[in-house]
Structure 1
Amino acid sequence: MQTIKFEIGSIGRPFSDDYVMEVESEIGIKFPLAYIDFMKHANGGKPIKQFFSIGSNEKVIERFLSFVEDYKNDELGLYDIEVVWSQIEDRLEEGVCPFAALFAGDFLCFDFQKGGVPSIVLWNHDAAARGNPCYQHVANSFDEFLTSLKAAEISA
């Protein structure tokens, strides 16, 4: 896995373990440790030219969601995981939680429904409806997902 570079100034403030536990309690999940470790240096960051393949399509990560303790008074507050989850939870199944925004309104989510290590799915906002979510499998784990990320080639 290559190092993910982020746009300058896009990474949010540090967050407390207590806040993560509050979010986990509200959503009813337990984030993987690999994800928490990643977020300690990438909280809300906008990656530079990072994409992944799903079938024959390439999807661009717009930004990783964030843990923002004072989300009402922080510019990254609208990207707080719990805030985003609360806006789309009626179109998700129980045990599914967004963690990254993709271009055009879709989200990458953890899928905890099978128990154990959560898989990574793409939630399609256009196809999802209340009580009828639409997911595509992306990776078997967060680590596998990070390994699959590619940096776009910038031509001169």
Structure 2
Amino acid sequence: MQYQGMTPFPDVIDIGKGNTVVSELLTISESEDEDLRIYSMADTYELIKDHVPQGIYPFAGTGAGDFICFDYRSNPYAPKVVFYFTEEAGEQAIHVVANSFSEFLSKLHNGE
């Protein structure tokens, strides 16, 4: 809750096809400010829900239009973390980054 809408530090993660920058953690609470709604988890989900399988929910953006998401499909209590490539389709668009949120956090680095 404390860091929603902010950039994590370190902010680089290997997504299996090279590194990407995690530019913002999406917000849990929705804003009345139209300019800030692009950072809302709910609004982002509405944008991508027709393009991802059910059970995939975004929690971070890359700034390049791609998203880092929780994947609840195989375990509703312990989601994996996946990278969603908006330019790809179907299952090819989803790549596992970490088996848990804790593992995801431990994989963040400063790009060096």
Equivalent of residue 120 in structure 1, options 59, 74, 81: 81
The aligned residue for residue 30 of structure 1 is none
- Under a length normalisation based on structure 2, what TM-score does the superposition of the two structures give? 0.87
139 and 103 in structure 1: CA distance in 2 versus 1, 3 angstrom threshold:
same
Could you tell me which runs of 5 or more consecutive residues in structure 1 were left unpaired when the two chains were aligned.
1-39
Say if 2:21 is the partner of 1:60: yes
136 and 56 in structure 1: CA distance in 2 versus 1, 3 angstrom threshold:
closer
Q: Which amino acid aligns with 1:119?
A: K
Report the Cα offset of residue 75 of structure 1. 4.1
* TM-align CA RMSD: 1.8
Q: Is the 8 A contact 1:120 1:145 kept in 2?
A: yes
Equivalent of residue 144 in structure 1, options 89, 100, 103: 103
Say if 2:74 is the partner of 1:94: no
Report the Cα offset of residue 92 of structure 1. 1.1
Structure 2 CA distance, aligned partners of 1:111 and 1:138?
10
- Under a length normalisation based on structure 1, what TM-score does the superposition of the two structures give? 0.64
Structure 2 CA distance, aligned partners of 1:136 and 1:66?
23
Equivalent of residue 8 in structure 2, options 27, 38, 47: 47
Per the alignment, in what secondary structure is the counterpart of residue 41 of structure 1?
coil
The aligned residue for residue 110 of structure 1 is 70
88 and 55 in structure 1: CA distance in 2 versus 1, 3 angstrom threshold:
closer
Question: If each structure's helix is expressed as a fraction of its own residues, which one has the higher value?
Answer: 1
Find runs of 4+ consecutive structure 1 residues off by over 6 angstroms: none
Structure 1 CA distance, aligned partners of 2:33 and 2:63?
25
Structure 1 CA distance, aligned partners of 2:56 and 2:15?
19
Q: Is the 8 A contact 2:67 2:84 kept in 1?
A: yes
Q: Is the 8 A contact 2:16 2:97 kept in 1?
A: no
The number of residues matched between the two structures is: 110
